[in-house]
């Protein structure tokens, strides 16, 4: 059996068997059950902000919250690809703004139809990822150096593309409707049923495959609890959205990309190779994996998703300007998956962390806005949350290494 086989088990995996409550607690601390931990954290955050402002849990505010997290969540999905390698992409914020500007200028100033303009914006991100990934692998330059330099380049390119006007207003309904379309109650409940069914299939199917491969898996009772909690959260979210304007198309786009990338990372050879390279690049190379190819593709996916996120942000704001892709967008896109359990050291994490982490970041930002906190306080709190997440990740990794686990 080799890396890339469907039943491949990593060297640190233990034989299949029952898991004691003590083992479950240990795995919770080490980050293996991060999704449940984050859901509890979201509930706690919501309770705290609701106690301070009774408008926080209103349907209107929560609908706005879900709309606000779509851009960050989409960019974070791509960031997960790079983090799984143990690398970082500091250009995703600038890339999102530049790609949105390309789309807007082609549509507004050059008369391109919406679909070709949007595709051109996404392709811009893909090409940027190809360039940065190739520079990183070809010259073995640290990824943070390549992408930091790229961030400056794409910020300059954004200003150049926008020209002297500095702002391009979007009026094409096919573009603006991406973030401003809401569906009926019936469609919302159908979507909820699909999401719950897909999540349950992934979770329970993965459990069966791991047992068949002789690899440790969580007890079936814990998996059922996880599915029930996720179903309850989904049903509650749809009920809240339906009581306001309905389920937004932007949120469905985010969930669709999360599911698609989750399939990519867990059900394809590329996904298994991605985790393997992030876990041990040299061992992966000796196993015959094209390490550089995997790295370049990961950076291409990250930049492509940055472009998608930038386009959704432009659709929501009805414009692209010189500050697009700026402010805290980069910090939030990186912090989101880290907060939800994706390791900065590579080889560990899930695409679901992008959605959960974006919800955490968005909830904190939304709550602080409702409380009218000063910008200085907001920045310190957001930075503190990211630092805490990194510390938790580092401590969990140290515990795993002390026990001989990857």
Q: What are the phi and psi torsion angles at 139 (to 5°)?
A: -110, 5
Q: Let me know if 128 is exposed, middle or buried by CB neighbors in 10 A (0-12, 13-18, 19+).
A: buried
% of the chain at pLDDT higher than 90: 59
pLDDT of residue 27: 53
- Whether 213 is covered by a domain: the verdict is yes
Mean pLDDT for the stretch of residues 25-52: 74
Which pLDDT score, from 0 to 100, does residue 347 have?
84
Q: Is residue 392 part of a domain?
A: no
pTM: 0.86
Closest C-alpha among 106, 105, 103, 129 to residue 118: 103
Of 133, 131, 125, nearest in space to 310 by CA = 125
Terminal CA-to-CA distance of the chain, rounded, Å?
A: 19
- Residue-wise pLDDT for 40-66, tens only, equals 888 899 999 999 999 998 999 999 999
Q: Is 403 among the domain residues?
A: no
* Residue 141 falls inside a structural domain: yes
In a domain, 396, yes or no: no
* 9 in a structural domain: no
Which residues lie closer than 8 Å to 401 by C-beta, 6 or more apart? Answer: none
Q: Which domain holds residue 169?
A: 21-378
- Nearest CA among 200, 182, 195 for reference residue 240: 182
Number of compact structural domains in the chain: 1
Q: What is the pLDDT of residue 17?
A: 44
What pLDDT digit, counting tens, does each position of 178-194 carry? 999 999 999 899 989 98
Query: Beta-carbon neighbour count of residue 55 at 10 Å?
Result: 10
63 lies in some domain: yes
Q: What CATH number is associated with residue 285? A: 1.10.3470
pLDDT for position 23: 57
Question: Do 308 and 122 meet the contact criterion of CB atoms below 8 Å apart?
Answer: yes
pLDDT for 15 equals: 42
Domain assignment of residue 395, yes or no: no
203-241 pLDDT, tens digit per residue, is: 888 788 888 878 777 778 878 888 898 899 889 889 989
pLDDT score, position 34: 66
Q: Is pLDDT at 33 greater than 80 in this prediction?
A: no
Which DSSP string do the residues of 218-253 spell out, in sequence order? Answer: --HHHHHHHHHHHHHHHHHHHHHHHTTT-EEHHHHH
Which helix (H) or strand (E) covers residue 150, if one does? helix 143-162
């Amino acid at each position: 059996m080799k890396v890339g086989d469907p039943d491949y088990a990593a060297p640190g995996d233990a034989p299949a068997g029952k898991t004691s409550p003590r083992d479950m607690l240990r795995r919770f601390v080490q980050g293996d059950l991060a999704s449940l931990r984050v859901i509890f954290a979201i509930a706690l955050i919501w309770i705290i902000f609701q106690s301070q402002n009774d408008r926080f849990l209103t349907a209107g505010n929560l609908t706005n919250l879900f709309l606000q997290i779509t851009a960050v969540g989409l960019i974070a999905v791509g960031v997960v690809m790079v983090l799984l390698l143990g690398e970082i992409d500091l250009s995703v914020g600038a890339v999102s703004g530049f790609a949105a500007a390309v789309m807007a200028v082609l549509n507004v100033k050059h008369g391109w139809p919406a679909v070709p303009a949007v595709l051109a914006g996404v392709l811009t991100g893909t090409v940027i990822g190809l360039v940065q990934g190739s520079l990183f692998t070809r010259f073995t330059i640290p990824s943070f150096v390549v992408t930091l330099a790229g961030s400056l380049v794409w910020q300059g390119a954004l200003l150049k593309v926008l020209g002297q006007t500095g702002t391009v207003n979007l009026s094409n309904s096919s573009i603006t409707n991406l973030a401003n379309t809401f569906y009926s109650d019936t469609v919302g409940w159908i979507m909820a049923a699909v999401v719950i069914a897909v999540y349950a299939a992934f979770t329970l199917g993965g459990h069966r495959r791991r047992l068949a491969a002789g690899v440790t898996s969580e007890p079936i009772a814990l998996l059922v609890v996880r599915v029930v909690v996720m179903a309850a959260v989904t049903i509650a979210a749809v009920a809240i959205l339906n009581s306001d304007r309905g389920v937004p198309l932007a949120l469905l786009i985010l969930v669709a990309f999360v599911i698609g990338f989750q399939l990519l990372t867990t059900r394809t050879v590329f996904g298994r190779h991605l985790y393997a390279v992030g876990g041990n690049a040299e061992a992966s190379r000796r196993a015959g994996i094209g390490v550089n190819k995997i790295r370049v593709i990961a950076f291409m996916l990250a930049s492509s998703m940055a472009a998608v996120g930038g386009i959704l942000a432009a659709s929501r704001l009805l414009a692209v300007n010189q500050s697009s892709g700026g402010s805290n967008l980069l910090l939030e896109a990186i912090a989101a998956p880290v907060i939800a359990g994706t390791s900065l050291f590579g080889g560990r994490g899930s695409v679901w962390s992008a959605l959960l982490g974006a919800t955490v970041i968005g909830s904190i930002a939304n709550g602080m806005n409702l409380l009218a906190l000063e910008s200085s306080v907001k920045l310190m709190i957001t930075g503190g949350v990211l630092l805490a997440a990194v510390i938790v990740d580092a401590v969990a990794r140290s515990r795993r290494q002390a026990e001989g686990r990857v």
